Amino acid sequence: MRDYRNDIDWLTPTLALCVWAAHFLLLWAASIVFPDQPVARWIAAILTLPALGAMWWLCRRGDVTSWVSIPGLGITIAVVGILFSLLPAIVG
């Protein structure tokens, strides 16, 4: 019988996805408040910096042994989501 450890750090991926959600909603809110204006794109770029900073902090605090660990993969999905969200502001 396998030993099912219960020391998986589920908090780190959950927090990473929360950061993605907050980043996404703020970017969208900016695009609604400033429709078709460059300021919405600048806000997107600026907000991406703290979002990526939060990811870096999560990497430091969490049990991120590699990107294929659960916390690592959670952060990876969130980072991909954040960069994906930034893309329309840069090239869209």
Partner 1 sequence: MYPPLTSLTYSPGINTDFWLLGIGFIEISAIAGAIEIIVGVLRTRAPGMTLDRMPMFAWAMLVFAVMIVIAFPSVILGTLLLELERAFNWPFFDPARGGDPLLWQHLFWFFGHPEVYIIFLPAAGLMSMMVATVARTELVGYRLNVLALVATGFISFGVWAHHMFATGMPRVSTGYFSAASMAVSLPAGIQVFCWIATLAAGKIRWSTPALFVVGSIGIFVMGGLTGVMVGMVPFDWQVHDTYFIVAHLHYVLLGGMVFPMFAAFYYWNGMTSKNALSERMGKWVFWLMFTGLHVTFLPMHLTGFMGMPRRVYTYLPDRGLDLLNLVSTIGAFVIAAGVLLFLFDLARRFRFTTSEDAGNVYGGGTLEWLPTGMYSTRSIPLVRSREPLWDDPDICDDVAEGRYFLPNTVTGLRETIITSPINAEPQYLQLMPGPSPWPIGAAVFTAAFFLALTVQAYAFSAFAGVVALVCVLRWLWETDRPIQQETADIGAGIVVPIAITGPSSHGWWALNTLMVVMGMIVFMAIFSYLYLYGINPEVWIAPPSLPQTAGIAALLVLALGSARLSRRILASKPKGAFPGQAPWLMAAIGAALLGAAIWWDWTGWSGAGLDPTASGQGATVFALLAFQACTVAIAGIMALYLGYRSGRGLLVGPSNVTLDVVVRFIGYAALQGLACALVVRLFPGG
* Residue 66 token pair: 């590699």
Rounded CA-CA distance 16/76 in Å is 9
Residues 6+ apart with CB under 8 A from 4: none
Of residues 2 and 60, the one with the C-beta less far from partner 1: 2
Left (φ > 0), alpha (ψ -120 to 50) or beta: where does 36 sit?
Answer: left
Stretch 17-36 residues interacting with partner 1 (CB under 8 A): 17-18, 20-21, 24-25, 27-28, 31-33, 35-36
Q: For residues 39 and 35, give the distance between their C-alpha atoms in angstroms, rounded to a whole number.
A: 9
Site for partner 1 in 33-92 (CB under 8 A): 33, 35-36, 40-41, 44, 70, 73-74, 77, 80-81, 84-85, 87-89, 92
Interface residues with partner 1 (CB under 8 A)? 1-2, 4-6, 8, 10, 13-14, 17-18, 20-21, 24-25, 27-28, 31-33, 35-36, 40-41, 44, 70, 73-74, 77, 80-81, 84-85, 87-89, 92
